[in-house]
Amino acid sequence: MIITVQTKGVDMTEPIREYTHDKLETLAKFFDGIVRVGAVVGQRSAHHQKGKIYFAEVNLDLPKKYTIRVEKEAEDLYKAIDKVKDHCKVELEKVKNKIRAKDNEEIRGYKAYHME
């Protein structure tokens, strides 16, 4: 699994890179074979009506041409990273169940008894 982390509107510091990398690395235990993870974290603009709003967006490239894109916002950069990781986990479970359902349909087709 290849993990790339970029920032937008904030400086890339070692703690931000490590925290994001560690959180996204845990997604491997929910879905085998994640090809690539691209993350962008940062701040949309310096002047927001509600104060500083940070965002985290993640693009997951999976086998069989599945792609998952998740974007979350929060008042703290680390909270946004946590939110996006949790939502990625849910989306990965959905894709895993979808793939299992297709595989089960194929297996049922092989086991079907044909009456002649």
Q: From edge to edge, which strands make up the β-sheet containing 2-8?
A: 2-8, 36-43, 54-62, 66-74
Q: Give the residue numbers spanning the domain of 55.
A: 2-111
Domain count, the chain: 1
> Does 9 fall in a domain?
yes
| CATH assignment of the domain containing 100 | 3.30.160.100
pLDDT exceeds cutoff 70 at 113: no
Would you state the pLDDT for residue 42?
92
8 Å CB contact between 54 and 78: no
Higher pLDDT, 68 or 50: 68
The tens digit of pLDDT for each residue in 34-61 reads: 999 999 999 987 666 667 889 999 999 9
pLDDT exceeds cutoff 80 at 4: yes
> Does 68 fall in a domain?
yes
Would you state the pLDDT for residue 115?
53
Would you state the pLDDT for residue 60?
93
DSSP, res 116:
-
> Does 58 fall in a domain?
yes
